[in-house]
Structure 1
């Protein structure tokens, strides 16, 4: 999402083949109500990913905690 849909840049950062990135983005777009060509659609996906990441973080002193880096 940080690369504005530039497949080559995304693939380079994730160290995957550009087609892998295209396939993953296609799977995201297959979700109902998801339009990655629309700025609001991209924002909604970014917010959903952020909320999911925040939900995975627990207090560092709790038993079984996971830290997201």
Structure 2
């Protein structure tokens, strides 16, 4: 990021970012830059969510699928 300047987010960009993090739909009245921000955040969150879900073979014994039988 060397040489890049930062700028404050526009109102649309801020709303789009908040909506993406909350899982809310995109408002088509927002700007093109807000759309890019929303799509980028949503894509990263989708990757993060899919990477965090254990497969059935990785199911933790701490949280078994079937209840443990105790005596």
Shorter chain as denominator, the TM-score bin is: 0.3 to 0.5
Q: So what's the TM-score if we normalise by structure 1?
A: 0.38
Q: So what's the TM-score if we normalise by structure 2?
A: 0.37
Look at both structures and tell me which one has the larger radius of gyration over its CA atoms: 2
